[in-house]
Every structure is written in C-alpha cells, then in structure tokens.
Amino acid sequence: MPVGVLALQGSFNEHIAALRRIGVKGVEIRKAEQLDNVSSLIIPGGESTTMAKLAELHNLFPALREFVKMGKPVWGTCAGLIFLANKATGQKEGGQELVGGLDCTVHRNFFGSQIQSFEAEVPVPDLAAKEGGPPSFRAVFIRAPAILEVGPDVEVLASISIRSTDIVDPSQEAQPDTKVIVAVKQGNLLATAFHPELTIDSRWHSYFVKMSDSNNEIVASSSSSSSYEDQESFLYNKQSKTDLPVYE
C-alpha cells in the first residue's frame, strides 16, 4: 500500500517527490475515507493554524486520531509535529485543535518568524547508523517549532545547540549551548521540527518507510534497496544553495 501525505496545505508535493526518489508511492490525502487506502501517513510542514482549520472543516480530526490509535506509522514535519503533540504552547489566541498521541510539549514558532528561518547541521547518530551517510543532517528550519519536554517513552533522535539570544520566546530561560530537541520517535510516531522534504537527503523518508516495513505494510521498489551513497552522494554535491542563514 502507498504512503499517504496529508494534502490540505504546505509541502505535501515535496514529500511525495522525496518518496518517489526512494521508490515509494505517495498519495495525497484530503478526505477521511482516503486513509483506508494507505499504510502510513505523513503530515507535512505548512501553516499549522490554517491546516488545523482545514482539517476541522473536512472533519478529519476523528479519522486522524483513529489512524494514530491503530498503530499505523505517522510522521509529522514542522507543522505536522505540532499536530501530533499532546500539548502545544505559543499558539495564537484560541489555540488550535491537535491530533495528539505523541507524549511531548512543543512550542509553536520557537525559533521565530519567517525571516528567522535558518539551516543547521544537526547530529543524527541513530539515522546515520540505520541509513548510512554522514553523521549529521542539513536541516531546514522555517518558522520552526521546538520540543520542550518529552515523556519517558519518547526517544530523542536529534537536538540542536542554541544560544540564549536565538530564543524568541522570552519565557524560555536558556543558557549558552542549550540543546533543544528537534526530532523524536515514539512507537509508530515520528516527528521532526525541520523540513527533510526540502533537501535532497532522503534518509528521513527511508527511515520512516522502514518503520512501516517493520509492520509489513509497504513494499518499496527495488530502487529503495540501494545504499545512501548510491542514491544521494552525487545529488548532495550538486544541490542548489538557499539563502537561509546557516548555524554552524
């Protein structure tokens, strides 16, 4: 069965393209009944309040919560992370509805507004161990959230070191070189505060597909069995540069 990508708003096309690069079919999901035809789901980055309003308009929240409760793999990127969190802070007045299931607290727009977006090399030891490639991932943070707290069953996959001056929310009292969590896994749920779909490094997508493979729910094409070096090294050297600031 294919991987579903919630296609209400945001970077759903980029996720489908990334899945295609590793030989996996992705399909757009806009209606609750379409979830019956996919084995797993990606909730993409975008504007979380707008996505929540559209999901509510289409009565998607009950079906999304049931999908999570059934144990099917779900991956949230950026706004998708906010959707999956049990608790979100820093929201607009009135807040927004959440899918929940991920035992964590996130801060919406922790790193600031659109003009404070950036790229950073994020250490990813677990990802590198499972998928190969370099020990860090070039992560794109756009109006990014951060994970403030996690429950005992949540595995931290990546953190980023920040300075106190990088924190937009004055209520967060961080000292220099404070580490903020930006990627986690809990059972069938995966979440990243950044946008892997906006890079040519497909390791996070491969990692997620293998979460589904462990349930024998996805059969990828033969191209997905090739190594990280075979798939990515040439493209990685040829990728276009963005004008986002870089945190070294």
Among 14, 119, 131, 197, which one carries the catalytic annotation? 197
How many residues can be counted in the chain? 248
Among 14, 15, 131, 195, which one carries the catalytic annotation? 195
CB 105 within 8 A of CB 88: yes
In degrees and rounded to multiples of 5, residue 128 shows phi and psi of: -65, -35
Active site residue 197: yes
Assess whether pLDDT exceeds 50 at residue 165.
no
* Closest by Cα among 76, 94, 98 to 182: 76
219's CB contacts (< 8 A; 6+ apart) are none
Predicted confidence (pLDDT) per residue in 138-156, tens digit: 999 998 999 999 999 999 9
Active site residue 195: yes
Distance CA 7, CA 191 (A): 17
CB 201 within 8 A of CB 7: no
More confident position, 57 or 240: 57
Assess whether pLDDT exceeds 90 at residue 234.
no
Distance CA 143, CA 211 (A): 27
Among 78, 104, 205, 232, which one carries the catalytic annotation? 78
Predicted confidence (pLDDT) per residue in 107-122, tens digit: 988 887 777 788 999 9
Assess whether pLDDT exceeds 60 at residue 85.
yes
Active site residue 78: yes
More confident position, 28 or 213: 28
Residue 161: per-residue pLDDT = 85
Average pLDDT over all residues of the chain: 83
In degrees and rounded to multiples of 5, residue 60 shows phi and psi of: -90, -20
